Amino acid sequence: MTMSESGPRRRRPAVSCTLCRRRKTRCDRKVPCSNCVRSKNAHCVYTSHPSDHPRRPDHGQRTELVFAQADGRNPYLSPVDQPSLSKPSTDAGHAAASIVGSSTNAPTPTSQASGREVEAMKSRIRELEEQLAKATQGAPQASVPAPVVTVSAAVPVVDQSSLTYVDSQLFGETQVITRSIIHKSRMFGQSHWINGIIGLCRDIFEALEPHIVDETSKAISGVQKCKALARVIKSRRTPSWPLSPTSILPSKEVADELVDCYLRTFETVYRVLHVPTFRRDYDALWVSDAEPDIPFIVQLKLVLAIGATIYDEQFSLRASAIQWIYEAQTFISEPAFKSRRSIQFLQTNILLLQARELVNVGADAIWTSAGSLYRSAVYWGLHRDPANLCKRTTYVVEMRRRLWNTIVELNLHTSMLLGAPPSFSLHEYDTALPGNFDDDQLAADAPVPKPDNELTQMSIARALCKTLPVRLAVARFLNDLGSNFTYEEVLRLDAEVRASYKSLCRVLRECNASNGPKSLQFAIRSVDCIMHRYLAALHMPFFPVASRESTYAFSRNVVIETSLKLWNAVCPSSLTVSPRPHDSTQSPYPDDLTRLTVCASGFYRQLGMQAGLSVATELSAQLQQGESLGPVPLRPDLLAILDAMRAWNLRVIEAGDTNIKSYLLTCLVTAQIEGLKRGIGKDQLVESYLQTVEDAEGKCYAILERLAARDQVEGMIGGIDPDAFDISPEGMDDWDFMMTDVLLNQSAVEPTSWMFNEIPQVPLF
């Protein structure tokens, strides 16, 4: 609470429970109240904490103390020990408590007598400010004018499943920003795409809640029918565990195309294989009568699994890809340690991580697996540059550098993807950047790296690697709880990301990468998406509040413009065209990135979903805030994305994804915007929501029925027995991490439980 020299004003005490106040609904003030009873809320809490209604400081005010409820632990740290603007000292907390106490009571002789104590507390606060200024001296200065010295106590606010921090003040403004979300014993940091989208969806489902409390409603029954059918489909695709590797492969014609799909896409961005060596062993596999080498067979099947995600537009080999990943996971899990310390074993681990993300096999745990792989690489010495170790051939030196670079990139990639803190820092290794070699050069004696301005098979990976420091700084800023989360830091990192991106573009232009082989076009577009993803993630936490606070208008503009670029990269207008069957006579280089976005899960799918929902959020905000005597003008390019989103999400289901949540959410968002454009009332808008849900569920159920029939008739290729698949709890877990239940899981009472309810799970704690 702030103080002014004219004395405090009396505030009307809060009489509603916390849930009703948050929802802005009438509370009957019972214990529990009727709204909590209807919502099955186990905790109906009434509170009148003084921080519930903070007041703005006067123009002459120098110090503002903002308080929030802590989670039971002592949140205060000494400014010397923790030189962050978000951590006050214990004495400052006691001082503020005294000030709050004296300012909320009527003047009495006792309070007048304690005036000297209040002045002493103010003096103590000034001393702490001076200590804080000395402790933070030398920190990077923001590129914006610094406000009057303010101290904001960023004590964590625990609202059941969410942890929020009070954002540091900028130009006198204070905002509460969600730092992380806890869901099903998992914590997602701010880089997780769902953090910036919660506000858009909550309004829709809160409006729907009173109309879908009955389990016999058509909306609920339709969702449950789709879920039941989806679980049957997934159970048929999921093999029993463990599953030992076999030498069974698809036909050579299919395998050749799958290998080519992988080599022209992911291998050009994240270097894993020495292509000539891999090609030699692959060709020998088909002509040799000897017993096949199981480690190479496992590695090959992972290459096939990744290539299957862009083999055709229907992901017809999805079940086979899952089978190959299960075999590789069984092979990796065997307790044979000494015999596994080889380059090939690291390559197999890297390919397994990529395949699990793209095919969505345990994709929500790849960050922990990437950390385990990183520690294995450190234990085997890959974090030391080979020049500092014993003498090795150029091939071994460069492969060690390439694998280390890829392992570090995957750690950072999974950190941003799942909203987890990075598991490494730059000072932990001294491995040099891989040389600018083509793969064929490594087989020669004493090869000489090509100049940086000459295009090689390593040019794209090297250019991306040079941006690693700034990308790592962004990931730490977003996902580390101890980061100095201020808007000034956002602007500073924004400038660094843009400078790094400009340097990357200059390097690729100098080596003429844009006019290089067509097989490199996927890599160029992927790197472009990666850099824009970091820029969007940096500003996304401020995007929901930017429509209300002009201070963050820059973040609003960055998110929208970046979303447009990402959508045009991964979901171009061609997605609205009906899918064509696979035709081996078409161009040898189809639009792999577009096909990957539709068929595969993980990073590229999230790019499309986040970009589309960000655009929808902007359109909704413009309609709700626009003041015009006529229709509110909307940008045609944003409206075009909104229309394409539904077709894109429907194609994702047609390609074999059993998760209907993305499509259902997109339809609801579209219905909201259409209703706001027509200016219809709240009741009519709710009716539109209900009709939209029923129509969307009908379309999805028809597609899922076709998928179930196709899987039952076709089975799988490569001699795999469909009877090996059974219905197990593991096979019926989360539909897809891309659209997790965390969507609106921000309180104990969930208006979305009817839509996002899953099989109960035993909590971790």
- CB contact at 8 A, 586 and 313: no
Residue of higher predicted confidence among 577 and 496? 496
pLDDT of residue 200: 61
Question: What pLDDT does 714 receive?
Answer: 54
Closest by CA position to 506, among listed 495, 518, 498, 517: 498
Backbone φ and ψ for 183, nearest 5 degrees, come out as: -150, 125
3-state secondary structure 45-98: CCCCCHHHCCCCCCCCCCCCCCCCCCCCCCCCCCCCCCCCCCCCCHHHHHHHHH
Mean pLDDT confidence for 593-615 = 91
CA–CA dist 47, 395 (Å, integer): 67
Which residue did the predictor score with more confidence, 574 or 604? 604
**417 has pLDDT over 60:** yes
Q: What is the pLDDT of residue 179?
A: 62
Kindly report, residue by residue over 376-397, the tens digit of the pLDDT.
999 999 999 998 888 889 999 9
CA–chain centroid gap for 304, Å, is 26
Asked whether the predicted pLDDT for residue 42 surpasses 50, the reply is yes
8 A C-beta contact, residue 259 and residue 307: yes
> Facing residues of 239 across strands?
725
pLDDT of 205: 75
Q: What is the mean pLDDT of residues 468-476?
A: 96
Out of 26-30, 306-310, 463-467, 677-681, pick the least confident: 26-30
pLDDT of residue 270: 96
* Across 404-415, average pLDDT: 96
Query: Region 39-58: what's the mean pLDDT?
Result: 57
Residue partners of 231: CB distance under 8 A and separation at least 6: 658, 727, 731, 732
Residue among 163, 161, 132, 169 at smallest CA distance from 54: 169
CA-closest candidate to residue 553, choices 564, 545, 561, 541: 545
Let me know the angle formed at the C-alpha of 720 by 716 and 726, rounded to the nearest 5 degrees: 85
Averaged pLDDT for residues 226-243? 91
- Judge whether 1 and 51 are in contact, CB under 8 Å: yes
Amino acid at 465: C
Pick from 250-264, 429-443, 603-617: least confident:
603-617
Q: Which residues of 706-730 are buried (b: 16+ CB within 10 A; e: fewer)?
A: ebbeebeeeebbbebeeeebeeeee
Task: Tell how far CA 535 is from the center of its chain.
Answer: 13
* 448 — pLDDT class (breaks 50, 70, 90): very high
C-alpha separations of 255 from 246, 330, 442 in Å = 16, 22, 26
Residues pairing with 183 in the sheet: 186
**Model confidence at 305: pLDDT above 80:** yes
- Look at residue 595 and tell me whether its pLDDT is greater than 60: yes
- What string of DSSP letters covers 450-476? PPTTS--TTHHHHHHHTTHHHHHHHHH
Looking at residue 51, its pLDDT comes to 41
Contact 751, 174 (CB under 8 A): no
Average pLDDT estimate for 486-515: 91
> What is the tens place of the pLDDT at every residue in 310-346?
999 999 999 999 999 999 999 998 887 666 788 999 9
608 contact partners, CB below 8 Å, separation of at least 6: 566, 567, 570, 571, 597, 648
Q: Report the mean per-residue pLDDT for the chain.
A: 76
**Residue type, position 418, single letter:** L
Cα 83–chain centre separation: 29
Instruction: Assess whether the previous peptide bond of 242 is cis (omega < 30° from 0).
Output: yes
Count Cα atoms within 13 angstroms, Cβ side, for 68. 22
Confidence of residue 123 (pLDDT cuts 50, 70, 90): confident
Stretch 715-724: mean pLDDT, rounded?
42
Mean pLDDT, range 46-52, rounded to an integer: 53
Quick one: average pLDDT of 400-429? 94
Cβ(304)–Cβ(321) below 8 Å:
yes
- Among 172-186, 207-221, 302-316, 575-589, the range of highest mean pLDDT: 302-316
Look at residues 370, 262, 253, 250 and name the one whose alpha carbon lies nearest to residue 320. 250
Instruction: Give the model's confidence band at 33: pLDDT under 50 very low, under 70 low, under 90 confident, else very high.
Output: confident
Q: Tens of pLDDT along 140-150?
A: 443 333 333 33
DSSP state, residue 748 = S
DSSP tag of 493: H
**pLDDT at res. 481:** 79
Question: Does pLDDT of 307 surpass 90?
Answer: yes
Orientation angle between helical segments 394-418 and 343-359, nearest 10 degrees: 30
- Between the alpha carbon of residue 276 and those of residues 280, 344, 614, the distances in Å are 6, 14, 43
Q: Residue 154's closest CA among 262, 245, 77, 248?
A: 77
Please state whether the predicted TM-score (pTM) of the whole model is above 0.85.
Answer: no
Max CA separation in the chain (angstroms): 101
Classify residue 25 by burial, with Cβ atoms within 10 Å: 0-12, 13-18, 19+: middle
Q: Can you list the alpha helix ranges (DSSP code H) found in 630-744?
A: 636-654, 661-678, 682-714
Bridge-partner residues for 181, per DSSP? 162, 188
Preceding amide of 633 cis, omega within 30: no
pLDDT of residue 135: 59
How buried is residue 214: exposed, middle or buried, by Cβ count under 10 Å (0-12/13-18/19+)? exposed
How far is the C-alpha of 630 from the C-alpha of 137, rounded, in Å?
53
The pLDDT-based confidence of 41 (bands split at 50, 70, 90) is confident
User: Going edge to edge, which strands form the sheet with 176-183?
Assistant: 157-159, 162-166, 176-183, 186-189
Residue 183 confidence class, pLDDT cut points 50, 70, 90: low
Q: What is the mean pLDDT of residues 564-580?
A: 66
pLDDT mean over 116-128: 71
**pLDDT bracket for residue 737 (50, 70, 90):** very low
Q: Which pLDDT value is given to residue 377?
A: 95
Q: Provide, rounded to the nearest whole percent, the portion of the chain with pLDDT above 90.
A: 41
- Rounded Cα distance, 651 and 631, in Å: 32
